[in-house]
Amino acid sequence: MEQKEKEPINQTEDTILENVENNADHTSAEATQEETTEKTLEVMDEPNQPEDFAAQIAALNDKYLRLYSEFDNYRKRTIKEKSDIIRSAGEDVFKAIMPTIDDFERAIKANETVTEVEPIKEGVSLIYHKLKVACTAKGLEPMDTIGKAFNADYMESITSIPAPSEDMKGKVIDEVEKGYKLGDKVIRFAKVVVGS
């Protein structure tokens, strides 16, 4: 009911503005006001007006419902796409790591019968190198911190010890845990020992 009342008022205001612009050359402000009032009353008294507004309201409601439905479908589709991306985000990384897992399984089987240590060391070293290459290919980079100045953006100081020389003060002396970056983002801070 409120919408039906608002629509004629808006149209009446438009009619009033048109009449004011058309009658701008009239000298008397009172004559302009009387004419606009008469035309406003004529617009409001027309018998077909409420039906036109009802049709316009029905059309606008239909348009609104369609737009709302389209937006709701878009929202549901984007939520589903995001969940699919999150679920399968690590797929490439796991595919790159799976051959290394296979190598570890083969090495474990082979180590059951090995009596010498050298082949085991060599095998573990080869598997480690293969894993490191696979991770680097996916954008994972280890951070080199030893001998560099301490930077809180990339490093986490575990402790500080007296520096062995003056030039090592404020620099990393030892690395307890290596830090890694994925592209430009630090995904694990390096845990370091700083000279003081």
CATH number for the domain harbouring residue 181 = 2.30.22.10
Does 1 lie in the same domain as 78?
yes
Amino acid type, 183? G
Low pLDDT (below 70) residues in the chain: 1-50
Does 172 lie in the same domain as 152?
yes
Does 75 lie in the same domain as 8?
yes
d(CA 150, CA 195): 9
Does 186 lie in the same domain as 104?
no
Q: Which among 101, 123, 138 is the end of a domain?
A: 138
Residue 43 forms part of a structural domain: no
Residue 107 is predicted with a pLDDT of: 85
CB atoms within 10 A of CB 81: 10
pTM for the complete prediction?
A: 0.51
Does 100 lie in the same domain as 133?
yes
Residue 66 is predicted with a pLDDT of: 93
User: DSSP assignment of 56-97, as one string?
Assistant: HHHHHHHHHHHHHHHHHHHHHHHHHHHHHHHHHTTHHHHHHH
Q: Please tell me the total count of domains within the chain.
A: 3
Residue 4 is predicted with a pLDDT of: 45
Does 76 lie in the same domain as 15?
yes
Residue 75 is predicted with a pLDDT of: 95
Does 188 lie in the same domain as 134?
no
Does 147 lie in the same domain as 131?
no
Residue 105 structural domain: 90-138
Residue 103 forms part of a structural domain: yes
Residue 43 is predicted with a pLDDT of: 47
Does 14 lie in the same domain as 70?
yes
Does 174 lie in the same domain as 98?
no
Does 81 lie in the same domain as 12?
yes
Residue 44 forms part of a structural domain: no
